[in-house]
Amino acid sequence: MAVTIKDVAKRAQVAPSTVSRVIADHPKITQETKEKVRKVMQELGYHPNLLARKLVTQSSQTIGIIRKTSSKRSLSDPFFPVALQGMSDLLHEKKYSVLMTCGESDEEIYHEVVNMVQGKSVDGMIMLYSQDNDPVLQLLLEQDFPFVMIGRPTDHIDKVMYVDNDNVKAARDITDYLIRAGHEYIAYVGGDPRFEVHKDREQGYKQALKLADIQSELLFRKEISRDSARETVAEILEMNPRPTAIVTTDELMGMSLLSALYERGIRVPDEMAITTFMDSMLSELSSPPMTTVDIHAFQLGFEAAKTLVDLLEKPDMMKRNILVPTSIVVRESCRKNKTNGAMI
């Protein structure tokens, strides 16, 4: 088969252990020996077998990424690729590899995670979602396996290290931004509050209204699809008084509403303002470009990976959670002044 450490040893007339030490650049090997061995490695085209090294060192230098890809929707969601890039950047720098779950159903994913963990294929994991009553989370905690979550855990919050935005604040900020722009009737269109992220954002929206003494909570919980967007827009337009702004918590949701408004001939931002969350190119390239809460998905991924690597290097480190600040990116979708409001 391939050339091994033994072949190199024989040819260089040293012991295999010496070759191993040369590879590791062990300080106690003479420069002379190192050069001799390296020359032979060159000649023979030697490359260490990582599998063997991993087995003996009991470390895979690999991180597992657990993602849910349930819906067709999630495939177009820029969050995943951007966060992945953030993780990749840090992990690559720290010489870790990335192994990813492939499964679609919860059971498939669970089994993959069991395999990675028990099969020693990864040293740690990053969970890209947070969900009620998750057997995967359960497993990782039981096994005391190192992992970091992106998003806030619903259960066992004091046992889990996580990286997240302050979603309450983010939603409060953007709602407040609309209020200050003169809007009073502000609809909120978000996702299933079984997920912490949506629960938090709803709460932030409500807080902003309360602080401004606005009574009318106009809360919608919707799936993302063309039809659902049409429905939502129809409902919103029928309200009396009619809302003048919509807070959404997702770019695709924002785009679908924008599209539904367009179909109805409602001009954005003149007749309806709209905001989203995330800030990928989608918000920038939509017509009109959308004002959005930048959640810094790249940084979320980066910090999660960094925290995990820190944990692996110092297993007894103090638990820490990281909040990545959000910021509002102002674009055209709600920048105009309202007749009854202030100029922004």
Partner DNA sequence: CTGAAAGCGCTTACAG
Residues that bind DNA (CB under 7 A): 1-2, 4-6, 13-18, 20-21, 23-24, 26, 28-30, 32-33, 46-49, 52-53, 55-58
Q: Cα-atom radius of gyration of the chain, to the nearest Å?
A: 26
Q: How far is CA 298 from CA 7, 86, 131, 291, 294, in A?
A: 45, 4, 21, 19, 10
Burial group, residue 102, by CB count within 10 angstroms (0-12, 13-18, 19+): exposed
Q: Report the nearest approach of DNA to the CB of residue 47 (Å).
A: 7
Alpha carbon 261 to its chain's center: 29
Our finding on whether 58 is near a copy of itself (CB under 8 A) is yes
CB neighbour burial string for 267-282, b if at least 16 within 10 angstroms, e if fewer: ebbeebbbbbbbbbeb
Q: Which of residues 175-234 bind a copy of itself (CB under 8 A)?
A: 226
Q: Which does 108 bind (CB under 5 to 8 A by kind): DNA, a copy of itself, none?
A: a copy of itself
Our finding on whether 114 is near a copy of itself (CB under 8 A) is yes
DSSP category for residue 240: S
Q: Which of residues 74-113 bind a copy of itself (CB under 8 A)?
A: 75-78, 80-82, 85, 88-89, 91-92, 97-100, 102-104, 108, 112
Nearest Cα to 145, choosing from 109, 121, 111?
Answer: 121
Give the residue with the Cβ less far from a copy of itself, 286 or 326.
Answer: 286
Q: Please state, in angstroms and rounded to a whole number, the distance separating the CA atoms of residues 262 and 92.
A: 43
- Per CB under 8 A, residues contacting a copy of itself are 1-2, 47-52, 54-55, 58, 60, 62, 69, 72-73, 75-78, 80-82, 85, 88-89, 91-92, 97-100, 102-104, 108, 112, 114-115, 118-121, 226, 252, 255-256, 258-259, 262-263, 280-282, 284-289
